[in-house]
A = this chain, B = another copy of it.
């Protein structure tokens, strides 16, 4: 696989990812992808076999280059979770890094809308995405929460993980309605910082950590 071929494949994945994020798998045509990637309609089938396979590759691409597993890292360094201050720092750090990575300047804006859309769409790739992208981080979060509150049962720890997920994800998949309700044009850096702070505080309060 030479450089040129890699360039074409990457260009197709990036063009496709952006279009899939906006219009979904079924709403995006191979022609539109080829045109956006400055390629031709035969290239998609040559490099990926089919549109469905290219869709799966765009999801794997996001999992590879947009990965954010802050809870996994905090859980590996368990010693920092021994003190109350360390626990607070961990929760704040996890939330802050999620917002920071998801809305970073150099994170393509289609990464997470595509990820969340893939959760809503019935697709054969869904199980793979959940297993590789969401399960490791979710598992680490439940472990951390049960470490902080040993009396919490496993079922409740799962719900806490979903609360964190929902509190962050809403700003991705309901971006347009949120901006409408706030009368804003876009999320500013200051706004995202205040959201991260607010979400951290709410999650800490639910753990009796202040």
Contact = CB atoms under 8 A, between A and B. Distances in A.
Copies of this chain, complex-wide, total 2
A79 B189 CA distance: 39
Main secondary structure of the interface of A (DSSP, over half): helix
A176 B170 CA distance: 17
A36 interface: no
Nearest to A199: B163
A184 B56 CA distance: 25
A158 B181 CA distance: 9
Contacts of A53: none
Interface residue range, chain A: 35 or more
Interface string A148-167: 00000001101110110111
A36 to B, nearest CB: 16
A202 B163 contact: yes
B159 A195 contact: yes
A120 B121 CA distance: 12
B127 A180 contact: yes
B177 A130 contact: yes
Contacts of A24: 23-24, 26-27, 121
A174 interface: yes
A149 to B, nearest CB: 13
A2 interface: no
